[in-house]
Amino acid sequence: MASDTDPQKPQTHRHKCPACYKKFNRKLHLIEHMKISYHSVHQPRCWVCQKHCKSFESVREHINNPLSKTKCSKFFAERGCTHCLRVLDSSSYLDEHKKMCRIIAPVPLGTKITPCMESNAGSIMDETQNGKVQRVIAMDCEMVGGGSDGSIDLCSRVCLVDEDENIILHTYVQPQIPVTNYRYEVTGLTEDHLKDAMPLNEVQDKITKILYNGKSVGSIPPDGGMARLLVGHGIRHDLDCLRMKYPGHMQRDTAKYHPLMKTNLVSHSLKHLTKTYLGYDIQSGIHDPYEDSISMMRLYKRMRDQDHEQVVRLGDGKAKCGFDSFRSTELDKKTPDELYEISVSDYKCWCLDLSKDCNRGS
């Protein structure tokens, strides 16, 4: 039997991450964790306990999984919005919020054989619509199949919309090689749709003028200059099928944006994202590029319009450069909160598109 005078075991001091609340026995392990987690004010977080998560799906798991925190689950069940994951002050506020947060689905264009639809709104950036400059364009393409087995993706239809969901360009596209599979169950297209379709080179020219605002195609400065941001879902694949290029820093891809991805940073489908974050169904039958473009634009604007309070950095000019600017001895002297202040995102948050400073950072 142990004596009352036996010395007690000393309690181990654990170092807690101020962002995700993980605890570490050694300060070195906390520092290494902060280096690879890229915590910042732009990360999705629980509205109850403020815990940072990799993505909004991670937040949902934090709230709803069997091991979720009781306090967070209870508050969210009573006053949480299932679309934006915000927690409102009262159930009455929640009811009003849901009316704005859940969006009515757009009416698809369908697959009627119509001529090319264009709007002058996409030609000159200096002109405004509804009192504002249109700086963002969403684009979606539909593909038919070429090659002996129909596996080669050929752009057969393209639609571009602006921030106010107005059509800038909608047209059928003439494939450059014979179509061997119209993929009718998905595209709703037949040979008649593409018989008098616009040649690909004309489509490329129109899209280029829209994206570059009629300016000469060349290098785009970091702030975008007069060019427009291009929103899409798997946008690089669409550009490849159009045989076009557009600078990566001007692309906004809802399939690759970290907060919209799965916990393991694998892409979600546009159908899933639209249902989860906007509250309506798309692609229940034939895929409609107009409907998809509007859904992409709405997702982009919902992410862009988040209000992320910026961390006030005091005194240390190296803070914005992240951990690489500091020696290990300097990092070891910093508190967990100070380590968080020098941590930067590993992705460009879309909320920064609202400011003139489009440089990467947290």
pLDDT, tens only, 58-109: 999 999 877 667 789 988 989 999 999 999 888 888 988 988 888 999 999 8
CA–CA separation, 241 and 146 (whole Å): 12
Q: Tally Cβ neighbours within 10 Å of residue 201.
A: 11
Low-confidence ranges of the chain (pLDDT < 50): 1, 124-131, 314, 357-362
Q: Which stretches within the chain are classed as H helix? A: 27-37, 56-64, 70-79, 91-101, 184-187, 191-195, 200-211, 235-241, 270-273, 289-304, 328-333, 336-341
Q: Residue 355 has which token pair?
A: 């400011």
What is the predicted pLDDT for the residue at 357? 42
Contacts 24+ apart (CB under 8 A), 112-116: 113/172, 113/192, 113/193, 116/169, 116/170, 116/171, 116/172, 116/198
| pTM of the predicted protein model | 0.88
Chain centre distance of CA 93? 27
Query: Looking at residue 119, what is its pLDDT?
Result: 78
Residue 226's pLDDT is what? 81
| Structure confidence at residue 325 (pLDDT) | 85
3-state secondary structure of 78: helix
Give residue 172's pLDDT. Answer: 95
